[in-house]
Amino acid sequence: MITMNTKRTLIGAFIIFLGLGLSSFKDDDRNFQISKNLDIFNSIFKELDLFYVDTIDPEKMIQNGVNGMLALTDPYTEYYPEEGINSLKEMITGKYGGIGAAIRYYKKKDRIAIVEPTEGMPAAEAGVKAGDIILSVGGKEMLRGNMKPQEFSSKVSEALRGEPGTSFVLKVLRPLKNDSTVMEFKITRKNIRNNPVPYYGIIKDSIGYLSLTGFTDNCAKDVKKAFIELKQRGAKSLVIDLRDNGGGSLQEAVEIINFFVPKGKEIVVTKGKIRQAASSFKTQNEPIDTEMPLAVLVNGNTASASEILSGSMQDMDRAVIIGTRTYGKGLVQTTRPLPYNGTLKVTTSKYYIPSGRCIQAIDYAKKNADGSVARIPDSLTTVFHTAAGREVRDGGGIRPDIEVKGDKFPNILFYLMNDDLIFDYVTQYCLTHPAVTSVDSIRITDADYAEFKKQVKAANFTYDRQSEGLLKTLKEVAEFEGYMEGAAEEFKALEQKLNHNLDRDLDYFAKPIKEQIAEEIATRYFYQRGAVMQRLKDDEDLDKAIEVLNSPEKYKEILSVPVKVAEKQK
């Protein structure tokens, strides 16, 4: 006899069996789809290779197939063939074997130019200067031929790099005002490490400042050294500048946070599709200082590990965040080995900071039909709370505690830089002016700017003005909607008022153009630390940080829950 309990047991077992069966069916179906489509891909390639009218390049064709496959994921999932491994290692470690100099394509000469030698590295020590045009490397002429500019730059970069201790002769053309001269330098390569802390110092009223440009291997040691030295020099508060810091090592970010928060605090949790992707990162050491007031500067290019640092400091109410909303990259990548010494850098998880939020701004799984993606709208974000109870939100990056809207980058400045006009002017300026003694002494006089304007005009410089483009669009819309007939005279008058006037534009935007020229000069004489110091001369974010750090009451108020919110929470 079958009792009611027995029936229930049998029904329960049947449901479980059915569930397992359905799960197994789904897995089998997925495996079939994978096998089927790999067979189709393989067969199509074989048929093309055998029957297509022209000979195909198998490596190029399959590489395009791989690129198409990766395009359906996110921009951070990338394939690195064996020949590209060095660039991946450099990105992770910040180290490479070479001469220590930034280069780029210089279209006026159809060559590669030295943009910035690194302080203390072989190129700078040998006497190579920014503006030098590379003619040959180790006796091999560096000509572009049919290569694209980016390919040409990669080729020259590869030639300059090599095993530390190896030497070669670098031949360059140094452009002088009325002539040019060919120069040769014997350079010995060495291990190059990009300095992640290009500048730190006491800026005002016992306020320390530290610029951190990337989270490469062992950068926490550089930050620790700088921070301790600043404390020894009398710093009572600290500004950490993470603007334009694209991130890097998650572990290094956690270690730096540990300098300012107690041991044992959970900073980051990662969650992915598989169990191995889940992990927790806690502070492991005793901190250096948990009381010093901190301000962290961020902008739209502050991303990834930089957002872990700034976001965690915000979630733990440990620092005031100042600037503009950050980029919003809450994804974690790991590397996977592939056949033939290739490597796949693949997004395996998302990270969540102390409040429990993930600041990822774009859901790459929800692409539009045309392949485009959009940021998560604020209306769809969720409220979380800091340790003190302040409201913060997920999605869309880190929202600063104090938002500072800086000046917009003028269109004319973009084109002046893109056409190398500022680069060329500064090259001549530095060759004809004696070395300046300090960044503070750099001034762009009216005479200097008049000379710059003269060179711009002589180059027949033109650029796309935004007002011109918008007016053209407005005219097209007016014609389409039938309003042009009655507004023709007004449009004509407006076109005359907006007539291209280079003199007027150079005068109107003189301030940002002069600032860019001064920054380029500071970089030539004092390298990256000079560039940072020059930018700090007129810096709204820094001014706001100084204001907050000099006011303990305001600092405390920002990091506290408003009274009304606190009462509501009770």
What number is the average pLDDT over the span 183-212? 95
DSSP character string of 264-316? T-EEEEEEESSGGG-EEEE--S--S-SSS-EEEEE-TT--THHHHHHHHHHHT
Given the residues 129, 329, 453, 544, the one annotated as active site: 329
**CB 95, CB 192: distance < 8 Å:** yes
- Average pLDDT along the chain: 90
The better pLDDT of the pair 68, 7 is held by 68
What number is the average pLDDT over the span 476-493? 74
pLDDT on residue 28:
79
pLDDT on residue 386:
97
The better pLDDT of the pair 264, 92 is held by 264
Cα 446 to Cα 439: distance, rounded to the nearest angstrom: 19
- One-letter amino acid at 118 equals T
**CB 112, CB 103: distance < 8 Å:** yes
What number is the average pLDDT over the span 77-81? 93
Give the residue among 98, 173, 183 at the shortest CA–CA distance from 134: 173
Which pLDDT band holds residue 564 (cuts at 50, 70, 90)?
Answer: low
DSSP type of residue 402? E
Which pLDDT band holds residue 5 (cuts at 50, 70, 90)?
Answer: low
DSSP character string of 434-493? PPPS-GGG----HHHHHHHHHHHHHTT-----HHHHHHHHHHHHHHHTT-HHHHHHHHHH
**CB 509, CB 517: distance < 8 Å:** no
Given the residues 211, 237, 249, 304, the one annotated as active site: 304
Which pLDDT band holds residue 265 (cuts at 50, 70, 90)?
Answer: very high
DSSP type of residue 418? H
Percent of the chain past pLDDT 70, that is, above it, reads 91
Give the lowest-confidence range in 229-243, 436-450, 455-469. Answer: 455-469
Residues in contact with 209: Cβ distance below 8 Å, sequence separation at least 6, in sequence order: 199, 200, 201, 202, 203, 238, 239, 241, 536, 542
pLDDT in tens, 104-145: 999 999 999 999 999 999 999 999 999 999 999 999 999 999
Whether 304 sits among the annotated catalytic residues: the reply is yes
Residues in contact with 380: Cβ distance below 8 Å, sequence separation at least 6, in sequence order: 395
Give the lowest-confidence range in 183-197, 332-346, 402-416, 517-531. Answer: 402-416
Given the residues 315, 394, 401, 541, the one annotated as active site: 315
Q: Is the pLDDT of residue 510 over 90?
A: yes
Residues in contact with 560: Cβ distance below 8 Å, sequence separation at least 6, in sequence order: 388, 390
Give the lowest-confidence range in 49-53, 148-152, 366-370. Answer: 366-370
Whether 315 sits among the annotated catalytic residues: the reply is yes
pLDDT on residue 565:
55
Give the residue among 120, 125, 109 at the shortest CA–CA distance from 174: 109
Coil, strand, or helix at residue 79?
A: strand
pLDDT on residue 6:
56
pLDDT in tens, 425-434: 999 999 888 7
pLDDT on residue 434:
79
Q: Is the pLDDT of residue 239 over 90?
A: yes
Q: Is residue 531 left, alpha or beta, with left meaning phi > 0 and alpha meaning psi from -120 to 50?
A: alpha
pLDDT on residue 431:
87
Coil, strand, or helix at residue 494?
A: helix
Q: Is the pLDDT of residue 23 over 80?
A: no
Whether 27 sits among the annotated catalytic residues: the reply is no
Which pLDDT band holds residue 90 (cuts at 50, 70, 90)?
Answer: confident
Cα 65 to Cα 56: distance, rounded to the nearest angstrom: 14
Cα 129 to Cα 114: distance, rounded to the nearest angstrom: 7
Distances 112 to 16, 108, 340, 396, 460 between C-alpha atoms, Å: 67, 10, 32, 38, 23
What number is the average pLDDT over the span 72-86? 90
DSSP type of residue 248? B
Which pLDDT band holds residue 178 (cuts at 50, 70, 90)?
Answer: confident
